[in-house]
Amino acid sequence: MSRMKQLALIGSTASGKSALALSLASEHNALILSIDSLSIYKEIDIASAKPSHDELASIEHFGINCLAPNETATVFTFIDEYHRAYEAATLQEKNLILVGGSSFYLKSMMDGLSYVPEINDETRAVAADMLHNLEEVHHFLSQVDPVTMAKITPTDSYRIEKMLHLYLQTSTPPAQWFEEHPPKSIITHCPILNIRIDRPLLRERIALRTQKMVQDGLIDEVAELERLYGRVPNSMKAIGILETLEFLDGKIDKQTLIEEISTHTAQLAKRQQTFNANQLEHVVNGSVKELYTVATTILAHP
């Protein structure tokens, strides 16, 4: 039986998660799994505010620099990284700290996911042809599975495509499929610690971090990403990148760039706080100092 212990450290962007995780990992013999929708990409360093090269070298990290910017991260990307991190921690007799702002992925792995078969090229081709008329596909799927489609709006292209793929591949209505393949939790026995921080202080941190990102070369980084990958990839639509592309287009000046990134990041932080408060259960809330004490107790317990 492995004695490896794990915990998840969550909180809004700029709340101090990474610094706390690094401190705990150093003191309690732990590896770190980053659950962040932007740090997963190579070459996106400044825009993602990922740990420095020295920090990455000091503690073994997973979930960072795994995909090229023109690839797309999904929950399954993070499931694979979690399995890699868990196995490494077990083999090395280390603890594991999960940290990041993308709590949706954490919740998905804790709540569990239903098995979904691999969608073959023939199915994808048929679906692509049908999806030229999204409203028609929604109507078609509603006849097949009114229960599932009642929860999906006719404009929700992402979920409509997923349900269409599943139905065409399995010839089974999605509701029936998920009933026959109930979700299985990926992550168990993992306390969740959520950093609480006063909003005025958080806004100040966001503003300072944004200024530093621009000073450190955010504009050059985004220009090079655009040259290499264009603007189509999902990663190029992230906060910090979109606004910089507007600056490169001459639509805004540098001061407005900083202000817009700060504003949009603060809005993201609010959404993250709302999600963490309403969508996750059995969460321990506290300041960085309070959670340091809680985490130390968890990781140090024999």
25 in the same domain as 77: yes
CATH code of the domain containing 149: 1.10.20
130 in the same domain as 243: no
Tokens of 65: 């620099």
- What is the structure's pLDDT at 116? 86
Q: Which domain-ending residue is among 129, 157, 180?
A: 180
190 in the same domain as 101: yes
Helices 134-144, 157-170: crossing angle, 10 deg rounding:
50
- Give the C-alpha separation, 269 to 22, whole Å: 21
| Average of per-residue pLDDT across 203-219 | 98
CATH code of the domain containing 97: 3.40.50.300
- What is the structure's pLDDT at 253? 98
Residue 157 in domain: yes
97 in the same domain as 232: yes
Q: What is the mean pLDDT of the chain?
A: 95
Handedness of CA 61, 62, 63, 68 (dihedral sign): positive
- What is the structure's pLDDT at 144? 97
152 in the same domain as 40: no
Q: Which domain-ending residue is among 180, 205, 223?
A: 180
**Is a pLDDT exceeding 80 seen at residue 302?**
no
- Number of folded domains in the chain? 2
Following DSSP, what letter does each residue of 38-87 receive, concatenated? TTTBTT--TTTTPPPHHHHHHS-EESSS-B-TTS---HHHHHHHHHHHHH
| Average of per-residue pLDDT across 198-223 | 97
| Helical residues (DSSP H) of the chain, grouped into ranges | 17-27, 53-58, 75-92, 103-111, 121-130, 134-144, 146-149, 157-170, 174-180, 199-215, 218-229, 241-248, 254-278, 288-300
**Is a pLDDT exceeding 60 seen at residue 12?**
yes
- What is the structure's pLDDT at 113? 86
- pLDDT interval class at 115 (50, 70, 90): confident
278 in the same domain as 131: no
Residues 6+ apart with CB under 8 A from 62: 31, 32, 33, 34, 81, 82, 84, 85, 88
Residue 1 in domain: no
| Average of per-residue pLDDT across 134-160 | 94
237 in the same domain as 126: no
199 in the same domain as 174: no
- What is the structure's pLDDT at 1? 40
157 in the same domain as 58: no
Give 93-102 pLDDT, tens digit per residue. Answer: 999 999 999 9
| Average of per-residue pLDDT across 218-231 | 98
- pLDDT interval class at 2 (50, 70, 90): low
Residue 128's domain comprises: 121-180
For 26, 86, 144, 210, the CA distances from 257, given in Å and listed in that order, are: 36, 40, 47, 9
| Average of per-residue pLDDT across 285-302 | 93
**Is a pLDDT exceeding 50 seen at residue 227?**
yes
262 in the same domain as 138: no
- The separation between the first and the last C-alpha atoms of the chain, rounded to the nearest angstrom, is 13
> What is the bridge-based pairing of β-strands 283-286 and 95-99?
unpaired
191 in the same domain as 268: yes
- What is the structure's pLDDT at 290? 98
174 in the same domain as 190: no
**Is a pLDDT exceeding 70 seen at residue 126?**
yes
| Average of per-residue pLDDT across 26-52 | 96
- Give the C-alpha separation, 180 to 243, whole Å: 45
